[in-house]
Amino acid sequence: MNILVTDGLSQQAITQLTQSGFNVLAVKVAQSQLKEYIVSKNIEGIISRTTFIENEVIDNAPKLKFIAVIGDQPVVDSTSYAEKKGVQFITAPVAATRSVAELVFAHILGGSRFLHHSNRNMPLEGDLNFKDLRNFYAGGIVVKGKTLGIIGLGKIGQEIAKIALSFGMKVIAHDKVITETTIEIQIQNQKVSIPITTKTKEEVLQEADIISLSVSSQQKPIIGKNEFDLLKPNSAIINVSNGNVIDEEALVLALEEGKLLFAGLDTYNDEPNPAIKLLMNERISLTPHIGGLTGEAAEQAGIEIAQEIIERFKAKSGMDFFK
């Protein structure tokens, strides 16, 4: 089987595939040449991190059996369209769990000391207004002892809980399916188990100092004006899950009215063109949808994807021919 690796697959994963009898072509192909390359090389599988595979490419690749996606970025026009053409999709959804959870805390820690704002202004005014800036940024918060409310207690939500508990935070959570779970924290050679019983969304919003959203895509926002009205004064909200879970107009209003001390966003309603009102708001810590995009996450995802490909499409090599 000929597999095209366009980008993002580690050498370890490539070696796994090659040793299992697959012919791996690790080539960065220009978008305009992708269709011709796939046909000319009889490509049966594609592994991509960022290269976009249009429907037209799928239409002209009769031998294509699978598309493997490293990370959480969409690389096709429509997964359902590809599946109707008999193309399987392979992902590694758990590989980026820790990376996403750590980004949540990057936003929490940065926002709690206004680092996103300070990093804009120190280069401009640090040499002239050092004392004024020091006074301006002196009102930060300590996260230890604060209550983190996690909405969505799946694998990422539970990883966020582990980090929060390690920081000495109290953790409460809401989940539509999970009613209770146990979080295990490794401290040197000892494991500490901490049970969590979930609450209603309203209870979490009312009790938490900081809200973290880790839910799947929604038909309509689950956090809007009514939900922001339930929050404590000077609370914070972090969203690294899906842009459509927050009403962005209501978010900006809550920030302007002082209901929120800060917000952290990694996903947006309109990607790749986030609303200007979000980009220009000095109380929002912003990242461009990089939750799962770390070197470690990509390497682990590649290994998991390679293992899944081997399991599904085991190539014959060596003594296999004689069995």
7-35 pLDDT, tens per residue? 878 899 999 999 999 999 999 888 889 88
pLDDT at site 50: 78
**What tokens appear for 118 in the block?**
């300070």
User: Phi-psi region for residue 193, left (φ > 0), alpha (ψ -120 to 50) or beta?
Assistant: beta
Look-up of token digits 């031998």: 63
What are residue 294's phi and psi, to 5 degrees? -120, 160
pLDDT per residue as tens digits for the range 194-241: 999 999 999 999 999 999 999 988 889 999 999 999 999 999 999 999
Q: How far is CA 159 from the centre of its chain?
A: 12
Judge whether 2-93+295-322 and 97-286 match in fold.
Answer: yes
Q: pTM for the full model?
A: 0.85
| Cis before 272 (ω within 30) | yes
pLDDT at site 94: 85
Written out in words, the top-level CATH class of the domain with range 2-93+295-322 is: alpha beta
State the DSSP code for 131.
H
Q: Helix, strand, coil % (nearest 5) of the chain?
A: 40, 20, 40
Compute the distance between CA of residue 130 and CA of residue 80 in angstroms, rounded to an integer: 56
pLDDT at site 317: 46
Mean pLDDT of 265-289: 95
pLDDT per residue as tens digits for the range 47-92: 988 788 888 888 888 899 999 988 766 678 778 888 888 999 998 8
Cα angle, residue 317 at apex, residues 308 and 20 outer, rounded to 5°:
30
Written out in words, the top-level CATH class of the domain with range 97-286 is: alpha beta
Length of the chain: 323
Q: Are 249 and 227 in contact (CB under 8 A)?
A: no
Q: Are 50 and 73 in contact (CB under 8 A)?
A: yes
Domain boundaries, the chain: 2-93+295-322, 97-286
pLDDT at site 318: 43
